[in-house]
Structure 1
Amino acid sequence: MKAQQHKSTCTEFIFCGECHQTFSKISKLKKHSLEKHNKPLILSCSVCQKEFRTKSKLERHFASHESPVTHSCEDCGKTFKHKRDMERHQEQHTEEKKTKLKCNFCPREFYRKHDLDRHVENIHPAKAPYRCELCLAGFGSVEQLEKHLPEHAATHPHICWECQRGFRTVQNLKRHLVLHSDERPFSCPVCKRGFNRKYDMFQHMRIHRTERVECKLCDRKFVSGDGLRKHVRKKHS
């Protein structure tokens, strides 16, 4: 049985994933899960949904979401917690540099897709209002965008009939289709707000935390380390 818990130092919201009953202690939730649902307790990270059998392992894992970013890709600026992840990411830029990418609106060519996308966004925003959701390439008309979409057919063969977005697997398509539904089967146990995806509900529940992460440069406070990092990159870099 799954159970959700927020940040390890903030346990005001420990609740059963089966019936959403809330508890003040993990031990009480464990007892409840065995007696009421006849299932062992599984703790899930509220950020990435990874599952753990013990509170201590969940706490160690959760700290990884709050650790500062230390490695930045020189090509696109994307940041990583671990150097090996950044090096693995940079391999894709090596492949990109082998082929020049031509702008659809002027003679400029680029080695990196990131640079081409930034060029179109800054230089030709009015000419490229239609964006491919899979690769973010810009196009001047719906016809040009539709002509481009088949290029993704081999890697994203499962198409949403509502918005024409493609997905790699049927399971991913099914998860996406929930967004087009009016159903809200997942309710926040605190404020009862409804969501069509469990992940969105867990993300929303961050706003109910009393604990905040403070920016040391301007004293602004955020509900998560991710929000703080975005703020620092935008306002203080």
Structure 2
Amino acid sequence: MGFSEKGILKTHMMTHTGERPLGCTVCSKTFILNSHLKVHMRSHTGERPFSCPVCSKEFVAKSPLNAHLRAHTGEKPHKCTFCSKCFSSKGGLKIHTRAHTGEKPFKCPFCALEFAARSSLNTHVTVHTGGKPFKCSVCEKEFAYKSEIKKHVRIHGGEKPFRCPVCSKCFKVDKYLKEHVTRTHAEEKPYKCPVCAKDFAGRSILNRHMRGHAGVKPFECPVCSKCFFVKYSLKKHMRIHTGERPFSCAVCAKSFSYKYCLTSHMKTHTQEKAFSCSVCAKEFTWKGDLKKHMRTHTGEKSL
């Protein structure tokens, strides 16, 4: 490879020698180019000078903005020479290509594992360090992974960006939308339970169902040893021990461990009376109150 200027050659050589002469004064991260350091500094200052003209999302540099714009246009100009899969960014293609070449340039400093992407390494390292670098700005809860905090903040904002194309029901997490589609709308259910012959749209749903027959509860609480059929049930149970209350009332800021508790609480603000007596038509906010009231008609005595 030829270089027109000595300075460009010198900069290029640093990619081989590993030399990074420009250091960040905040976190000590080092860079080859001043322009890269300048962009990095914005992660500390919060400056995002490049704004998307479509959705107003802001970016620290022009290149991620250009890549983001392709999400609106659908353009994927970077094509894999191995499998012809296309990508919106050059970096995405570069990481994907390593799946074909087997290249894993990012090595864990604690164990022998290697990774194709730096982000995957950073995620893995938290297993060793126990670090949780991502903190929620609302409740200050900390997370090990960026994807986790991204999902978590939707609890506070009420954001449900994943819409079902069939019934328009919205979900906070992509996984929940996929499960909803398979459970509710999928006509084809090729996975049959060998015990009760019930049919399922997905293998994972069948596997969860089979635990009910086998009595297998693989998800154990590390605090009280209670076991659960599914991971999500354990996650909800853990709130008993941690005291986590992720569901906040938008009216009085009271928080709850479970969504159904928040839904029930909201009725105290809306005065909604969804439960009606079939005998005298009297209405009640709570199902339990209706149940007690019915005894005045039936003569049943509470225990």
For the aligned pair, the TM-score class normalised by the smaller chain equals 0.3 to 0.5
Give the TM-score normalised by the residue count of structure 1. 0.33
Give the TM-score normalised by the residue count of structure 2. 0.27
Which structure shows the higher helix fraction?
2
Say which structure, 1 or 2, has more relative contact order (CA 8 Å, 6+ apart).
1
